[in-house]
Amino acid sequence: MTTAGNSQPPTSVVPSSPTRPWHARVFYRGCHMFASLLFAMYFRLRIHGREHLTKGGMLICCNHQSHLDPVLVGLACREPITYLARDTLFQGLFAKLITYLGAIPIQRDGLGLAGVKRTLERLKIGEKVLIFPEGTRTPDGQLQSLKGGLALIAKRSKTPILPMAIAGAFDAWPRRQKLPAPQTVQIVIGPVIPIEVIDQLDDQALTQLLESEIRKCWEAAKSARQHRIGSKIEASAAG
| Residue 6, domain member (yes or no) | no
3-state helix, strand, coil in the chain (%, to 5): 45, 15, 40
Average pLDDT of the residues in 176-202: 96
**Residue 211 covered by a domain:** yes
186 has which bridge partners? 46, 167
pLDDT tens figures, 35-91: 999 999 999 999 999 999 998 899 999 999 999 999 999 999 988 999 887 777 788
Indicate the average pLDDT of the chain.
86
28 pLDDT more than 80: yes
The enclosing H or E element of 195 equals helix 195-200
Is 30 within the bounds of a domain? yes
Q: pLDDT tens digits for 204-237?
A: 999 999 999 999 999 999 999 999 998 776 556 5
User: Higher-confidence residue: 18 or 9?
Assistant: 18
Q: What percent of the chain has pLDDT over 90?
A: 57
> How much is the pLDDT for 171?
97
Backbone angles phi, psi at 234, to 5 degrees: -65, -40
141 within a domain of the structure (yes/no):
yes
Strand order in the sheet with 186-189: 46-48, 186-189, 161-167, 58-62, 128-131, 81-86, 103-106
Residue range 192-213: mean pLDDT, rounded: 96
- Helix (H) or strand (E) holding 41, with range, is helix 22-42
pLDDT of residue 226: 96
11 in a structural domain: no
pLDDT for the residue 2 = 36
Name the domain count of the chain. Answer: 1
User: Is residue 77 assigned to a domain?
Assistant: yes
pLDDT score of 1: 40
For residue 204, what are the contacts with CB-CB under 8 A and spacing of at least 6?
A: 151
Query: Would 2 be classed as within a structural domain?
Result: no
> Rounded CA gap, 234 and 70, in Å?
32
Q: Is residue 103 part of a domain?
A: yes
CATH classification at residue 86: 3.40.1130.10
Count other Cβ atoms within 10 Å, centred on residue 34.
11
**What is the pTM for the complete model shown?**
0.86
What are the residues whose beta carbons fall under 8 Å from the beta carbon of 134, sequence distance 6 or more? Answer: 63, 64, 143, 144, 145, 146, 147
**Residues of the domain holding 218:** 22-238
